[in-house]
């Protein structure tokens, strides 16, 4: 039971605002899960799937205007506009509370208000943070049950006077003109109104574990990052890597990678697939925890070929959102099997035929699955101290320019490379897909304060970490002139990780180029891989003119930060220009 007086008073206050018929504190028991599932099935909010083939699995369809994170409707509400910075949408907190408060007023009349205490991180760990989410949606309760450690375990963990994040959600009318995802970092508060889509409503995830946590990290000397965490085990020794890729660019696949048969000797273990909280340990190294308890993964493209561990994870106790319902009451999505089922019910609830030319599952359809069901889950998953990080990877989807992999010269240069990351947009957010946009550290939509201050925080952290991880950039998506991918990706990415961990140990051959250390052609193990010398050459090439053009793009991007841009980034641009000038390729 929650004893924290501030929490009890806040719940009373929100109940007075939303005026529910009933208030139910969520305790996290199995009895509760079953009861709420039965109600959701009865009301049609959830659909019970084939329990012989998919035990404990449910299907949910969101409104058609509500299928991805809505960045346009996501706001950082700091008292001063400059503290939100030029990238975030900003709203004055007074205006935000008043405007959206009107929407919340009476919004739960006739409904039950569920109160979910939850933990991001491991119970009892000094690194964990506690939140309380109020919601009127059973879908949210059941998802939060998978994605966080919640209920009594969180209520008991919350100290009597401890701070917690106040998260308020109501589905409202599901009208995009009355949809707001508001963050008040100075009040440790999140308000989400008018949506039922995961990233907008599972408030522990993007809203708390990234936007609010990044703000807390700035003030408490740690970092909240959009990064997977994996362990790479060889000869009994495990090296841990964090990797930041934008949404729907393969973090879940890399975190669960299975080594190709032709390149044995390694085992990959999964600590997290989306979010890392990074702190300096007493040994001067950077330690990472995954604050989440489940995976909220993109379904399309996930198959026994691309990610067998994910497929095995979602066989039971999983909530599927916006996928195709098959005739045998199971699920399917594009890319799951080579052959599509002939027909089914699509993500909009309509009859679907494989010849229709329409997608059966929405491109951003999802699975929510317990992390501990993953066959590759790390034995360190529940370790409150986390794992020590040897390498940080940045990467995006870039058809041209960025080589398969390169190592940056040092932390400052690596921070600059992360800050200049760019990627083609995906279906994970609303808006046009496939457009190249700058996405610093894959955090463009997730920094809860001024991005220029975030860059400085990275640089400052670097000065405090005695034993810094090395920083690399990877690009699995480089294409040839005809638009074919040059690198096979998926399990074969292990070959690149092999070079990376050898570099961390002072091994692995590389040539110094203006952008960093690029592997020599034979430094990446290629046994059993059908790839031409020419393709490898193209994958590892650095073209001076392309990079000079890129420098202009970087400058344009950085200009929006004005004098807030750390001087180190001006230096890095100058140094890169100088190195390119002296380069003869
Ligand atoms: C996610 C995202 O859901 O980045 O992880 O959109
Ligand atoms: Mn993500």
pLDDT tens-digit map of 457-504: 999 999 999 999 999 999 999 999 898 999 999 999 999 999 999 999
Is there a single domain that holds both residue 184 and residue 125? yes
What global pTM score does this model have? 0.97
Is there a single domain that holds both residue 200 and residue 95? yes
Neighbours of 163 (CB within 10 A): 13
pLDDT above 80 (res 428) = no
Nearest CA to ligand 1 atom 1: 247
Scanning the structure block, which residue is given the tokens 């409904």? 111
pLDDT above 90 (res 559) = yes
Which residues are the active-site residues?
249
Measured CA to CA, the distance from residue 277 to residue 103 in angstroms comes to 33
Residue 127 domain flag? yes
pLDDT above 80 (res 242) = yes
Is there a single domain that holds both residue 506 and residue 572? yes
pLDDT band at residue 433 using 50, 70 and 90 as cut-offs: confident
Instruction: Report CA-CA distances (Å) from 380 to 254, 290, 305.
Output: 18, 10, 26
Q: Which ligand does the CA of 225 lie closest to?
A: 2
- For residue 49, give the nearest of 350, 316, 348 by alpha carbon: 316
User: What CATH number should be reported for the domain holding residue 267?
Assistant: 3.90.228.20
- Domain of 561, in residue numbers: 225-293+380-581
Residue 494 domain flag? yes
Supply the pLDDT for residue 431. Answer: 81
pLDDT above 80 (res 423) = yes
Identify which of 74, 146, 206 to mutate to test ligand 1's pocket (most ligand atoms within 8 A of the CB).
206
pLDDT average, residue stretch 21-47:
98
Residue 14 domain flag? yes
Is there a single domain that holds both residue 155 and residue 44? yes
pLDDT above 80 (res 411) = yes
Residue 269 domain flag? yes
**Span from the CA of 535 to the centroid of ligand 1 (angstroms):** 32
Q: Which two tokens stand for residue 583?
A: 């380069």
pLDDT average, residue stretch 343-353:
98
pLDDT above 80 (res 585) = no
pLDDT band at residue 228 using 50, 70 and 90 as cut-offs: very high
User: Computed from CA positions of residues 424, 426, 428, 432, in that sequence, does the dihedral angle turn out positive or negative?
Assistant: positive
Is there a single domain that holds both residue 355 and residue 401? no
Q: Which ligand does the CA of 296 lie closest to?
A: 1
Scanning the structure block, which residue is given the tokens 């009318």? 173
Number of H helices, E strands in the chain: 15, 31
Q: In this structure, which residues have their CB less than 5 angstroms from ion ligand 2? A: 247, 274
Q: What is the largest CA-CA distance in the chain?
A: 73
Give the number of residues written for the chain. Answer: 585
- For residue 341, give the nearest of 349, 321, 332 by alpha carbon: 332
pLDDT above 90 (res 416) = yes
pLDDT above 80 (res 110) = yes
Supply the pLDDT for residue 74. Answer: 98
Instruction: Report CA-CA distances (Å) from 505 to 190, 387, 469.
Output: 43, 18, 11
Measured CA to CA, the distance from residue 302 to residue 318 in angstroms comes to 15
pLDDT band at residue 521 using 50, 70 and 90 as cut-offs: confident
Query: Of 220, 235, 251, which closes a domain?
Result: 220
User: What residues have CB less than 8 Å from 572, skipping those under 6 apart?
Assistant: 412, 413, 416
Count of domains for the chain: 3
Q: Which two tokens stand for residue 535?
A: 């393709």
Tens of pLDDT, residue by residue over 75-91, are: 999 999 999 999 999 99
pLDDT average, residue stretch 537-541:
96
Nearest CA to ligand 1 atom 4: 247
Residue 58 domain flag? no
Residues with CB under 6 A from ligand 1: 69, 199, 247, 274, 296, 428
Supply the pLDDT for residue 262. Answer: 95
Is there a single domain that holds both residue 347 and residue 478? no
pLDDT average, residue stretch 251-269:
96
Is there a single domain that holds both residue 28 and residue 151? yes
pLDDT above 90 (res 399) = no
User: What residues have CB less than 8 Å from 12, skipping those under 6 apart?
Assistant: none
User: What CATH number should be reported for the domain holding residue 195?
Assistant: 3.40.449.10
Residue 60 domain flag? no
Is there a single domain that holds both residue 240 and residue 352? no
Is there a single domain that holds both residue 13 and residue 160? yes
Measured CA to CA, the distance from residue 182 to residue 186 in angstroms comes to 12
Report strand pairing: 74-76 vs 180-184. parallel
Is there a single domain that holds both residue 508 and residue 533? yes
Supply the pLDDT for residue 269. Answer: 98
Query: Of 174, 202, 220, which closes a domain?
Result: 220
Please identify, by atom number, the ligand 1 atom nearest to the C-alpha of residue 68: 6
Please identify, by atom number, the ligand 1 atom nearest to the C-alpha of residue 428: 6
pLDDT above 90 (res 94) = yes
Supply the pLDDT for residue 432. Answer: 80
Please identify, by atom number, the ligand 1 atom nearest to the C-alpha of residue 198: 3
pLDDT average, residue stretch 43-51:
98
User: What CATH number should be reported for the domain holding residue 342?
Assistant: 2.170.8.10
Tens of pLDDT, residue by residue over 176-226, are: 999 999 999 999 999 999 999 999 999 999 999 999 999 999 999 999 999
Is there a single domain that holds both residue 324 and residue 360? yes
pLDDT average, residue stretch 348-371:
97
Is there a single domain that holds both residue 233 and residue 113? no
Measured CA to CA, the distance from residue 244 to residue 246 in angstroms comes to 7
Nearest CA to ligand 1 atom 3: 199
**Whole-number average pLDDT of the chain:** 96
- Contacts of 342-345 with C-beta under 8 Å, sequence gap 24+, read none
Query: Of 220, 249, 267, which closes a domain?
Result: 220
């Amino acid at each position: 039971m929650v004893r924290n007086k501030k929490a009890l008073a806040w719940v009373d206050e929100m109940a007075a605002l939303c005026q529910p018929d009933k208030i139910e504190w969520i305790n996290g028991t199995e009895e509760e899960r079953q009861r709420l599932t039965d109600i959701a099935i009865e009301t049609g909010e959830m659909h019970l799937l084939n329990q012989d083939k998919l035990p404990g699995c449910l299907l949910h369809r969101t409104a058609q205007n509500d299928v991805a994170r809505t960045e346009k409707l996501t706001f950082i509400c700091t008292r001063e506009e400059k503290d939100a910075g030029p990238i975030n949408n900003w709203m004055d907190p007074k205006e935000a509370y008043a405007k959206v408060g009107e929407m919340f007023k009476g919004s739960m009349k006739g409904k039950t208000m569920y109160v979910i205490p939850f933990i991001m991180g491991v119970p009892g760990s000094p690194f964990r943070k506690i939140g309380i989410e109020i919601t009127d949606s059973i879908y949210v309760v059941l998802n939060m049950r998978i994605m966080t450690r919640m209920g009594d375990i969180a209520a008991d963990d919350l100290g009597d006077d401890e701070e917690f994040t106040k998260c308020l959600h109501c589905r409202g009318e599901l009208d995009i003109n009355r949809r707001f995802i508001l963050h008040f970092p100075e009040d440790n508060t999140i308000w989400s109104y008018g949506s039922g889509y995961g990233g907008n409503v599972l408030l522990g995830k993007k809203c708390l574990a990234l936007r609010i946590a990044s703000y807390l990290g700035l003030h408490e000397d740690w970092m909240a990052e959009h990064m997977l965490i994996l362990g790479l085990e060889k000869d009994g020794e495990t090296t841990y890597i964090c990797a930041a890729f934008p949404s729907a660019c393969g973090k879940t696949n890399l975190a669960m990678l299975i080594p190709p048969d032709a390149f044995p000797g390694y085992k990959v273990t999964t600590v997290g697939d989306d979010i890392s909280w990074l702190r300096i340990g007493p040994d001067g190294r950077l330690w990472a925890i995954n604050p989440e308890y489940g995976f909220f993964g993109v379904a399309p493209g996930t198959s026994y070929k691309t990610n067998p561990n994910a497929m095995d994870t979602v066989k039971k106790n999983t909530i599927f959102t916006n996928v195709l319902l098959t005739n045998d009451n199971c699920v399917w999505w594009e890319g799951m099997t080579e052959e599509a089922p002939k027909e089914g019910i699509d993500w909009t609830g309509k009859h679907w035929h494989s010849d229709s030319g329409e997608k059966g599952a929405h491109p951003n359809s999802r699975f929510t699955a317990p992390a501990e069901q993953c066959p590759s889950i790390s034995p360190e998953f529940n370790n409150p101290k986390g794992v020590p990080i040897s390498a940080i990877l940045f990467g995006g989807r870039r058809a041209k320019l960025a080589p398969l992999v390169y190592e940056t010269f040092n932390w400052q240069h690596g921070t600059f490379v992360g800050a200049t990351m760019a990627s083609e947009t995906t279906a994970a957010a609303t808006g046009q897909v496939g457009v190249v946009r700058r996405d610093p550290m894959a955090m463009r939509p997730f920094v809860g304060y001024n991005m220029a201050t975030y860059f400085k925080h990275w640089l400052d952290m670097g000065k405090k970490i005695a034993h810094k991880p090395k920083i690399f950039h990877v690009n699995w998506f480089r294409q040839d002139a005809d638009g074919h991918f040059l690198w096979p990706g998926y399990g074969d990415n292990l070959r690149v990780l092999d070079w990376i961990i050898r570099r961390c140990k002072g091994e692995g051959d590389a040539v110094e180029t203006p952008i960093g250390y690029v592997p020599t052609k034979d430094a990446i193990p290629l046994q059993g891989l059908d790839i031409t010398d020419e393709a490898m050459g193209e994958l590892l090439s650095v073209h001076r003119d392309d990079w000079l053009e890129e420098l202009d793009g970087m400058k344009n991007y950085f200009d929006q930060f004005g004098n807030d841009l750390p001087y180190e980034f001006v230096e890095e641009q100058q140094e890169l220009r100088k190195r390119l000038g002296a380069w003869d390729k």
